[in-house]
Amino acid sequence: MAVSIIQKYYSLKNLYLFSGIVLATIFISLLSNKLLINEIVFYNTYSEQLTWERSLKLFADLKNIAWVGYAFIPVILFIKFSLVSLVLYTGVFLFDLQKEITPGMIFRVVTGSEIIILSASLVKFLWFLFFAGNYTISDMSFFYPLALINIFRSDEVSNFWIFPLQMVNLFQLLYIISLSYGLYSVAGIKQSNSEKIVLTTYVPAIIFWMAFVMFLTVDTTAL
């Protein structure tokens, strides 16, 4: 039953999948901004730099232009999906599977697999809504569900290590599994081939991305 539902999900057209993911992303972002970030949270975050009156004005100004961020969500997601698809397609060439797997198939799998990342965002939203207690925007930026980062307090981790510790999480593992199963389901190739494609392309790419972000963090700190 579950397998059948997953296969039907990955068989949806690219436009439907992309539109659904975009709308869900915007919805979770709206909920987070409306319910998690208020004047008090904003002031607690920047109380050392701003007075209460100044923080209220800045908070109101940011709320008024929040729509700009929502407008860019489709563009950002399209770029993200395209880049991940390009990375995975190098594996298709590497294992000579161009006849079985088209770029459109890969884009559909990557788009559909984003539901795992959305699930992490939803869990994070629910955590801060019901369990976090007093928190700041910095606490929200630091936390990632089911990740190694949660073993530590924010004052125990240097900026250099925050991103990689956030990236090592259960949802990232599920995302990798989703990419692999999606290729297997959509293209009808051997599961071993879909696993090879993901493990030889996406996994090295994400490790390189973590190293790149760490390098930028060190470079920015040095400045």
Return contacts of 169-177, CB within 8 angstroms, 24+ apart.
169/120, 169/144, 169/145, 170/145, 170/146, 171/116, 171/117, 171/119, 171/120, 171/145, 171/146, 172/206, 174/116, 175/113, 175/116, 175/117, 176/202, 176/203
In this prediction, residue 2 carries a pLDDT of 66
pLDDT in tens, 143-157: 999 999 999 998 899
In this prediction, residue 7 carries a pLDDT of 81
Which tokens in the block code for residue 121? Answer: 């965002």
- Whole-model pTM? 0.92
Q: Which whole number is the average pLDDT over 90-110?
A: 93
- Contact (Cβ atoms closer than 8 angstroms) between residue 101 and residue 189: yes
